[in-house]
Amino acid sequence: MEEVNLKLHDLKQFHGYSEPSRDPRHHSVEVTYLAKAYQNPKAGDDAADAKVVPLNALPWGHFAFDHEQILRDYLGIRRK
């Protein structure tokens, strides 16, 4: 809600990412979630922009940290 002003439904934990090199600044752990939203996102406090992007328009090769891997992991389970 804070970052993209979305009310989420059916929130479920997806996966934890803890590879020490995932963030070059320090070892961090990211826990990702899946949820549904029924409105468009709107940038909040820390977000410069927020929008829905079609899968065929995702900017592969331009994600921070391991976020591309996280998206690929999600798309892998989505196809099953």
DSSP string, 19-62: -TTSSTTS---EEEEEEE-SS-----SS-S------GGG--TT-
**Domain locations in the chain?**
9-78
Which pTM was predicted?
0.78
Question: What value does the mean pLDDT take over residues 75-80?
Answer: 84
pLDDT tens, 26-77? 888 899 999 999 999 998 877 788 889 999 999 999 998 889 999 999 999 8
Question: What value does the mean pLDDT take over residues 3-21?
Answer: 91
Q: Is the pLDDT of residue 80 over 80?
A: no
